[in-house]
Amino acid sequence: MTEESLKIFVVDDEPTARTTLMAFLHDTPHKATEFAGGQDCLDNAHKLPDIILLDLEMPDISGVQVCQTIREIDLEHQPHIIFVSAHNDMASRMSAYNAGANDYLGKPCMEEELKQKIATAHRYIQQNKSLNQNYQFAQQAAFTAMNSMGELGVVLQFLRNSFECKDLSQLVDLILSALRNYDLHGFIRLYNEFEDISDSTDKECTPLQTSILEYSTMLEQRIVTTRDYLVFNYPQINLAITNLSAIDDDTLGRLRDHLATLAEGISARIKALEKEQQFTHQAELVLSTSQEIAELLEKIDGQQHSKRIELMSIIAEYSNNLESAFFQLGLTEGQEDELLEMVHNMHRRLDELMNQNETIARHLSDANRRLSKLTL
């Protein structure tokens, strides 16, 4: 595998020292540039060298000052600084360390030793790049996770509140509120057996928006995605989102998933509302019928009472007339008693029938009251 080319600055006020270091680097894949003083190096720091081979003592600016200044500059990436000096004492090394240097090489240095230092610096640079990339990835992942949690919170809040909605109008208001929390613009249609409502995040739906929602019911796909709009076609819900051009792909992907979850929840809630409305409708129908039955039973009871009185009056009149006729018919006492017994028996049978009818009416009335209680 081809070795990566590094950008190396060779900084030394002595031409011989620079020439030696440049010669050592000649057969490497690295691009080396020499500078005769510390200020020249600082003036070119914006070129972002990977490694700086820096002399400790120079007439214009010392290597320590150069190192400290570079460490204070806000560069895209900081170079790996190796001091190359004839001062091989502890004090010089500590000065280099305190200035922010990464390594130290004594003069005169050997070619192999320099190349080993370069190789070590190269590994350090690669590891540092990898760490930076991992850090940036982790930072982005954390940022994405926080955003996703906030976005998911909108979904959870919607799902919780949706159970309190009693009709499609309340559900539409809740959906539009969720869309506004996402800074989205769009329009929506909800419908069931009893209602059909369309609305928009901005204002009432235009005829064109309404036609788009109605047309989307004929789509085979549940979700239609383009770079400009999103359309969701779920049972009893059609949703169109329009302001997508400024949204990045990652955010768009998350929002599409969240909105799909919303659409699923909305569809399920509409079905539940429809069942609730069907039950309410049936209960209202049962209650209305029960009231009609109660009124009818009350009317029948009144009619039966009147008929009972009328019938008793007819029987009494018939009995009196029959007794008066006994004198004209010339019947024996036994025959008269037999006729009167027949009349009394008919009276008892009619009374029993009337009582049975009243008992049936009471049972019907009790059953009707129990039925009406079920709808409350």
Predicted pLDDT of residue 148? 52
Beta bridge partners of 189: 198, 238
Quick one: residue 163, left, alpha or beta (phi over 0 = left, psi -120 to 50 = alpha)?
alpha
Q: Which two tokens stand for residue 118?
A: 């370069």
Beta bridge partners of 7: 31
Beta bridge partners of 11: 35, 54
- Do the Cβ atoms of 17 and 114 come closer than 8 Å? no
Predicted pLDDT of residue 130? 82
Q: Which two tokens stand for residue 231?
A: 């359309």
Nearest to 24 by CA among 3, 53, 1: 53
User: Cβ neighbours of residue 368 under 8 Å, at least 6 residues apart?
Assistant: 290, 293, 294, 297
Q: What are the tens digits of pLDDT across the range 15-30?
A: 999 999 999 999 999 9
How far apart CA 300 and CA 294 sit, in angstroms, is: 10
Nearest to 125 by CA among 78, 93, 82: 78
How far apart CA 243 and CA 228 sit, in angstroms, is: 7
Q: What are the tens digits of pLDDT across the range 98-133?
A: 999 999 999 988 999 999 999 999 998 888 888 777
How far apart CA 71 and CA 81 sit, in angstroms, is: 10
How far apart CA 287 and CA 375 sit, in angstroms, is: 6
Cα dihedral angle (216, 217, 222, 227), rounded to 10 degrees? Answer: 0
My answer on whether omega of the bond before 108 falls inside 30° of 0, hence cis, is yes
How far apart CA 310 and CA 108 sit, in angstroms, is: 142
Burial class (CB in 10 A: 0-12, 13-18, 19+), 261: middle
- All structural domains of the chain, each given as residue ranges with its CATH number in brackets, are 7-138 (3.40.50.2300), 143-277 (3.30.450.40), 280-374 (1.10.132)
- Do the Cβ atoms of 90 and 61 come closer than 8 Å? no
Q: Which two tokens stand for residue 277?
A: 């409305």
Q: What angle do CA 137, 140, 146 make, to 5 degrees?
A: 140
How many residues comprise the chain?
376
DSSP count for the chain of H helices, then E strands: 9, 10
Collect the ranges in the chain with pLDDT lower than 50: 1, 142
Phi–psi pair at 210, nearest 5 degrees: -60, -40
Q: With both helix axes pointing from N to C terminus, report the angle between 168-181 and 111-162 in degrees, rounded to the nearest 10.
A: 160
How far apart CA 124 and CA 271 sit, in angstroms, is: 62
How many other β-carbons are positioned within 10 Å of the β-carbon of residue 354? 16
Residue 94 corresponds to which amino acid?
Answer: M
